[in-house]
Amino acid sequence: MHSVCFHFQISQPYRLRTYRFFDINENHHYFDDFQNNYITRRLAERCYLPANKMLLDLIHKYGDKFCVSFSMAGSSLKLFQEYCPEVIDSFKKLIDTGRVEITGNTFTHSLAALNNKTTFLEQIKLQEKFLDETFGVSPTSFCNTEIIYSDEIGEWIYEAGYKLALTEGAKHILGWKKPGFIYCNPYQTDLKLLLRSYRLCDDITLRFGDKNWDMYPMTAEKMIGFLRQTPEESPFINLYLDYETIGEYHTSETGIFDFFYSLFSQLCQSDEFSLIRPSDVLDMDMPASTMHAPWAISCSGEEKDTNEWLGNDLQQEAFQQLFKLETLYNESENEDAKLNWLRLQSADHFNYMGTKWFPQQTVLRNFEVYQSPYQAFINYMNVLNDVKLQLQKS
């Protein structure tokens, strides 16, 4: 029997408005309220609300057989609170059933893990606090921003009190090993690792709705067939997806809701599969082996590296300048500026500066914010400079 772990990630950034250099030190409002409102509401209507309802129905129907887990950056939850509080309520309903696990995460979808320990731990702590205040939950497993992970980051996660982390089943790290086992950090063997089966995830995110796919259309039955192909001796199938896959990447017209409902129903009824949450693994088996990740891995692209966010000189520069302000952050008492500094750590801002896909942008973002990576960079640096001044002032 295979254990199938479904984990949905939610991370919507506070999108920056066009912030010109002449706004520096004059105006401290950095965010595009209109866009943030529009996108949050749109996602709520297309994805979060109907998808939550679907999950609630499944819980009512299948009870203990059904479970699922989420990681949601605190900044996204703040967007919901601000623009669409009913989303928070609907998550509360889900959590109250006891069948939904919320994992630990960074507070602002932060890339801090790629820079330094203290900010990373601060991000984790803030997120725990926020989850406690909002949902009254305290997470026991951890899912970092974009499932970024390395041996060192693993040690930090353990230090923050977690005994399980979710990350990518990156082929270049695993080599001959299969992702369907529990692994552990080589230096901190008490930290278990659950690895993403990215091929199966791609079957859903990329293949669903792809008319050029030779097996089009994707159905729940076909997906079950793929899951069945997983070798018997490899017990875990971990599917981590952006929650927006349901309803936004694939709109409801494509039948994505029916697909998931049917997939979950079949999994619940099947005796070949059982659904689990990450924390269920904590008391389960011993790790099969260690997984050695000397360099950071993530769920990005084919390479599963961090080049999507830190691949070019602009991204590197912005990243260095950002974390130079850590001391200021620690000393400052300007709470607004401090929060904004945390928000500027969001992976999305760095993604916008990417030139990885030059000369042709082959990946279309759902919400294109900037016309070029350079505009993204300049805008970001303008904001960062003002945040710096505000942190200094206090």
Partner 1 sequence: MFGWEFPPHISGGLGTACFGLTKGLAKNNVEVIFVMPRASGDEDQTMVKIISAGEVEIDPRHSEFFQQNHNVAFVEIKSKLVPYIGLDDYYNVINQIESDVFEKNNSDKRKFFFSGTYGENLIEEVEHYAIVAAELAKNQNFDIIHAHDWLTYKAGIIAKKVSGKPLILHIHATEYDRSGENNLNEYVFNIEREGMMAADAVCAVSDLTRKIVIEKYGIPEEKVFTLHNAIEPFNKEIKKEKFVREKIVTFLGRVTFQKGPDYFVETAKKILEKDDNVRFVLAGDGDMMTHVIKRVAELGISDKFHFTGFLHGEEISKMFGMSDVYVMPSISEPFGISPLEAISAHVPVVISKQSGVAEVLQYAMKVDFWDIDAMADAIYGILHYQALSSFFATKGKEDIDNLKWEKTALKLIDIYKKFV
Least Å distance between CB 28 and partner 1?
Answer: 16
Q: If binding is defined by CB under 8 A, does position 324 make contact with partner 1?
A: no
Q: Which residues, 6+ apart, have CB-to-CB distance to 358 below 8 Å? A: none
Q: Taking contact as CB under 8 A, which single stretch among the options 81-89, 207-215, 247-255, 372-380 is the one that binds partner 1?
A: 372-380
Beta-bridge mates of residue 195: 167
**Cβ atoms of residues 110 and 347 within 8 Å:** yes
Q: If binding is defined by CB under 8 A, does position 318 make contact with partner 1?
A: yes
Which residue number, 76 or 390, has a Cβ lying nearer to partner 1?
Answer: 390
Largest CA distance in the chain: 64
Least Å distance between CB 305 and partner 1?
Answer: 20
Cis omega before residue 186 (within 30°)? no
- Binding string, residues 23-42; x marks residues near partner 1 by CB under 8 A: -x------------------
Beta strands in the chain (DSSP E): 2-10, 68-72, 100-102, 142-143, 164-168, 183-184, 192-196, 236-242, 273-276, 289-290
If we measure between CA atoms, which residue out of 367, 378, 380 comes closest to residue 34? 367
Residue from the set 35, 37, 375, 389 that interacts with partner 1 by CB under 8 A: 375
Least Å distance between CB 374 and partner 1?
Answer: 5
Q: If binding is defined by CB under 8 A, does position 322 make contact with partner 1?
A: no
Q: Is 126 exposed, middle or buried (0-12, 13-18, 19+ CB in 10 A)?
A: middle
If we measure between CA atoms, which residue out of 191, 375, 373, 143 comes closest to residue 291? 191
Least Å distance between CB 322 and partner 1?
Answer: 12
Token duo for residue 384: 């960062």
Instruction: Give how many residues touch partner 1 by CB under 8 A.
Output: 22
Binding to partner 1 (CB under 8 A) within 348-367 occurs at: 355, 358-359
Q: Taking contact as CB under 8 A, which single stretch among the options 116-124, 136-144, 301-309, 314-322 is the one that binds partner 1?
A: 314-322
Q: Is 253 exposed, middle or buried (0-12, 13-18, 19+ CB in 10 A)?
A: exposed
What one-letter code names the amino acid at 253? E
Residue from the set 59, 68, 378, 391 that interacts with partner 1 by CB under 8 A: 378
Residue from the set 210, 266, 316, 336 that interacts with partner 1 by CB under 8 A: 316
**Cβ atoms of residues 335 and 153 within 8 Å:** no
Q: If binding is defined by CB under 8 A, does position 20 make contact with partner 1?
A: yes
Q: Taking contact as CB under 8 A, which single stretch among the options 85-93, 176-184, 289-297, 368-376 is the one that binds partner 1?
A: 368-376
Q: If binding is defined by CB under 8 A, does position 306 make contact with partner 1?
A: no
Residue from the set 27, 269, 372, 394 that interacts with partner 1 by CB under 8 A: 372
Q: If binding is defined by CB under 8 A, does position 317 make contact with partner 1?
A: yes
Least Å distance between CB 370 and partner 1?
Answer: 11
Q: If binding is defined by CB under 8 A, does position 314 make contact with partner 1?
A: yes
Beta-bridge mates of residue 2: 273
Query: Cα separation of 56 and 50, whole Å?
Result: 10
Where along the sequence are the contacts to partner 1 (CB under 8 A)?
20-22, 24, 312-314, 316-318, 355, 358-359, 371-372, 374-375, 377-379, 381-382
